[in-house]
Chain A
Amino acid sequence: MDISQLEPVNECLWRISPTGKMRAPVLIFADRELVQAMDDKVAEQAANVTTLPGIVGACYVMPDAHWGYGFPIGGVAAFDPDRGGVISAGGVGFDISCGVRTLGTGLKRDAIEPVKQTLAEALFSTIPAGVGSRGQISLSEPEMDAMLAGGAKWAVEQGYGRPEDLERIEEKGVMAGAVPSEVSAKARKRQRREMGTLGSGNHYLEVQVISDIYSPEKARVLGLDLDDVVVTIHCGSRGLGHQIGTEYLKKMQKAAQEAGIELPDRELACAPLNSAVGQSYLGAMRAAINCALANRQIITHLVRKVFADLFPEANLALIYDVSHNTCKLESHGFDGKERQVYVHRKGATRAFGPGHPALPEVFREIGQPVIIGGSMGTASYILTGAPESEKLSLSSACHGAGRRMSRRQASKTWQGKTLISELEHQGVIVRSPSFRGVAEEAPEAYKDVDAVVRVADKAGLASLVVKMRPLVCIKG
């Protein structure tokens, strides 16, 4: 990105003041190196977001941001329904409530190392991953309705998990306000064979080891210590979410036109929150959030089964589950006044600071865990929401490494087979149905996740707690 167009605020924050049709500024959280490496399109897309009606605060851009469609990936923006605010399907994305959850195992690295291959094979054969895979669960229409209304809570009631898991999931595992009847027959049909599947692309399941601890006190609250083995799952609402995204992107083209909203980019299609289309999308999107929560809960159940067979002493307790493609109604302070606003986080994680009332008791003092997934073979991190994040970014932080190279370029640069053997040499077992899929997800096709989390920490968005290194990676 050409930094001459940006006003430096401090070493981790850059600002674009409103000009022309912009209704609010753009705030980019990145150090000089990260901001220079960002595509110019990020600034352009963030500026476009600020032209939408009812925006409050700013369009906040996270350190891992890259060129998306409509919103940049790593973009956060809030809209006030009482000031003509809008909701945008593109501001949530196709993969509604895509997110990450991390489970403890109660095992140390030396218990896993000798049986890593067996564990990789067992996970790969148990958790459906990639194109053409099918879940074992097929839901009837009433069951689908119950799942869309009940999320992870529904899954636990069906025997996929433990009641105590729910405390460790945003919204306690159930997104309120979901309206299953707003989910089309097509979206339901697309989900029929996809419950409990990982998907493909950047979705994965990893067995990881805690390699570094930055805050021993917070790590203790999370129940984590050096050399502990954890399992991290990254996936979303599968076909159901994709179909809802597709349908509302189209409906909102018309809705925006009817509401007289001028769109700088068709992908920014939106509807006023106080409109029939806006409300119907909210109901459907919340149902899709529940679908994603149920999906990750079912995968958790499958992972627990695999571990129970191989390690009877293991205890896979959920540490936390975060979503990074959402729009949620939250209370935030603007000019000294609390307002109820709809916060879009597209490729950004909610990062409530210590003391936030929405946090479960166990995390009240340390803040919300923020799980950052790295690229295949690199590190992942757990941070916690920083006290300043509320003022800085409406309590938002980054979500991952962020791409720096396109899939096309990556698949031309690397060979999946070679990458797998190189990673194996480094101690990471990769299993995937597709070599090309692996090449497209090459570690170096992504930004340096270490730099991204360092900046998130330094900027005051979230504080570093632990680093995880992969041992086994199942790619969709």
Chain B
Amino acid sequence: MSKQGRWEHFEHMADIGVRGIGETPEEAFAQTALAMTAVICDPALINPQEKVTVEIAREDDDLDGLLVDFLNAVIYEMAVRQMLFSRFQVSIDDHRLKAECWGEPVDREKHQPAVEVKGATYTELKVARTEEGQWVAQCVLDV
């Protein structure tokens, strides 16, 4: 992961928007997932000690759709494993995405999780390259 990657949250009345910015789509995706973790708790509190891999294959070349699929796959792993992730390594090859998600089981005392993410939505969804050449990946989460 390069050092330039960063994430931010943006306003949505009912919920919250997550945005990842990076040199490549992969890095922007990874940062968006980190922004999603930050909706739940401070990512710095999560020890990236355990790896979970998610893989997605789409039939089309819809990069926007791939972002929603990716975030929903991470939401699913968080829910069924009761884990939180603080490091993501994403690779995208044509219509396929593979991500290594590093984290640990939820510890309510340690992580103080504020809210559960129900799903990633198509609202304010965008994966695009800015004029400066950076990649931005964003959408609104339902919490």
Contact = CB atoms under 8 A, between A and B. Distances in A.
Interface of A: 39, 41, 66-70, 73, 90, 93-95, 130-134, 186, 189-190, 192-193, 199-201, 239, 242-243, 245-246, 249-250, 253, 265-267, 269, 403-409, 411, 433-437, 440, 476
A434 B13 contact: no
The 4 A-B pairs at the shortest CB distance, nearest first, are namely A132-B106, A131-B113, A266-B122, A436-B114
A199 B143 contact: no
A69 B121 contact: yes
A103 to B, nearest CB: 25
B25 to A, nearest CB: 19
A192 B15 CA distance: 26
Contacts of B113: 130-132, 200, 433-434, 437
A66 B108 contact: no
Contacts of A405: 13
Interface stretch (B76-84, B90-98, B127-135): B76-84
Best-surrounded residue of B9, B106, B107, B114 (most CB of chain A within 10 A): B114
B107 to A, nearest CB: 7
B48 interface: no
Interface centre among B82, B115, B121, B122 (most CB of A within 10 A): B115
B122 A437 contact: no
B116 A200 contact: yes
Contacts of A200: 113-116, 143
Nearest to B109: A433
A131 B14 contact: no
Interface of B: 9-16, 40, 65, 68-69, 72, 75-76, 79-80, 82, 106-108, 111-116, 118-123, 125, 140, 142-143
B115 A69 contact: no
A437 B117 CA distance: 12
B69 to A, nearest CB: 7
A436 B45 CA distance: 15
A242 B118 contact: yes
Contacts of B9: 408
Contacts of A134: 82
Nearest to A405: B13
B82 A132 contact: yes
A95 B118 contact: yes
A192 B81 CA distance: 11
Contacts of A201: 115-116, 143
B14 A73 contact: yes
Contacts of A476: 116
